[in-house]
Structure 1
């Protein structure tokens, strides 16, 4: 698994019990390229192939929703966001999300397959910054520039006649890069407004390692050894970036995945514990209650 917010966990569970994960479908794209741009529709590919009738699921690709009316309430990882006209939702791979079944989605949707953009652009735009809020509120000037860039991207996406496929794909990558840099600037400003420090490379590597291994590795020392840092160096970097200890960062990721599975699957508590790295059900229940104030069974009951 790459940096995809925990999709690996669900992939290892039973086909009728796990949170359904929907892959990117290149066949739904013009020319079969790794992005899709178009209006939000009730059954469009942006919805992960499920339409709006299935309320909760995962996707293994990026979705950016640009709303032209609202409010619409959309759930992402146990937080409900109220989105209005001129605002953007950025849903990253592996996040559990659910559609409103009573409100109309009006606007433009962009979906993007992981790997479509080069690694340097992925890093520059913070595409896997799961610590950043998904709701973006650009100011008027930013929104105008984003809308212009989005319209250009959509024109290039739909132009299937003036370039061969290889050049068409290259132009899309460049146009998408310009567009994503604008969106990322809004995201970075939102982080700065929230006084979020920019992480250094040490923290970035740690965050990636945790995302890859949190279901089997909860040890700060093991991560430090794997990454080639002293435990003290890792503690300093994680605290500077998040205000948390490395252990708290790991535990928070484990709890998020446990909540996802408790709320959106019928897996027994013991199996959920195993899925997030606990061989003993009692230890998992104790850990969960310490961090949430509720037993796994009580948390699950509250979701219905």
Structure 2
């Protein structure tokens, strides 16, 4: 019997550049038109390992996908794609702007020393797609900012590395303000935001191990009630809701982008009973895993 081999979702360093790992400290900025034109303006579904991207689209139209969601855009448009998120673009020829690619270790080095690190890191760990805030609304000109960032990243002037770091932080602040997120100033609120961020990281590390929320809380050195308060303040979701959302996201990725049997997907996500997984999925997606796969798959994988 011939065994069919799975073709996993491609992991790219940049568009079309397959890479097992991201170069530490990697920062790259380029014109969207330059990179997209090389691929006939179609960027197939892929994800980046340990690499986040920000796009400021200043001209043109098209469509984009972030995991299972798809939407059309019309410039000006702002997109933030955290590492690991499956994304794709369909640009209309002539579309332009700047795409910035950042190694996650660089982002951490830039943001972690900041007094508002918890809120800034939470901003970079969530996807965003929408019309950017105008300079009058957010007191930042994001289009001009990324143009300057692209010049600094490509140049070799004295202090270029410091300029890039400062501009990247301003870009993250621009995403934060565009999302109309409130500022965190009090130490207690900052600590709760940091606890939420550490919980999300722990979820990523142990997603497939079936941990209960009490075990996550114990590993973080807090009570389940304290963890619940931190998560509901940060994203208005309970820890259980966040965990279930993440399991659903990974399940949808596997159903759309692989041909793994539903039972194998269930076991890979830490479910001991595929039937329970199917009920879990159907209660949240409104359809069975098989139906969801059939309705969301396009073409042969």
After superposition, give the CA deviation of every residue in 1:61-94 in whole Å (9 maximum; x if it has no partner).
Answer: 1122221212221111222233322322111110
SS state of the match for residue 210, structure 1? helix
**CA–CA separation in structure 2 for the residues paired with 1:188 and 1:148:** 17
State the 1:111 CA deviation. Answer: 1.2
SS state of the match for residue 30, structure 2? strand
After superposition, give the CA deviation of every residue in 1:133-174 in whole Å (9 maximum; x if it has no partner).
Answer: 3435120456873333333322233324x66xxxxxxx4442
**CA–CA separation in structure 2 for the residues paired with 1:158 and 1:195:** 32
In structure 1, list runs of 5 or more residues that go unmatched: 1-13, 164-170
Match of 1:56 among 42, 45, 49: 45
Query: Normalising by structure 2, what TM-score?
Result: 0.78
After superposition, give the CA deviation of every residue in 1:204-257 in whole Å (9 maximum; x if it has no partner).
Answer: 221221122212234101101111111121122222222222111100110011
Matches within 5 A, 1:66-77: 66-77=56-67
- Give the root-mean-square deviation of aligned CA atoms: 3.4
After superposition, give the CA deviation of every residue in 1:108-144 in whole Å (9 maximum; x if it has no partner).
Answer: 2211122124435154633664345343512045687
Match of 1:152 among 148, 151, 158: 148
Match of 1:214 among 207, 211, 223: 207
- For residue 7 of structure 1, what is the aligned residue in structure 2? none
**CA–CA separation in structure 2 for the residues paired with 1:121 and 1:220:** 28
8 Å CA contact 1:75–1:98 kept in 2: the answer is yes
**CA–CA separation in structure 2 for the residues paired with 1:155 and 1:102:** 25
8 Å CA contact 1:224–1:230 kept in 2: the answer is yes
Query: Normalising by structure 1, what TM-score?
Result: 0.77
SS state of the match for residue 106, structure 2? coil
Cα pair distance change 1:36/1:193, threshold 3 Å = closer
- For residue 3 of structure 1, what is the aligned residue in structure 2? none
Greater strand proportion: 2
Equivalent residues, number: 277
1:36 corresponds to 2:28: yes
Cα pair distance change 1:217/1:135, threshold 3 Å = farther
1:182 corresponds to 2:170: yes
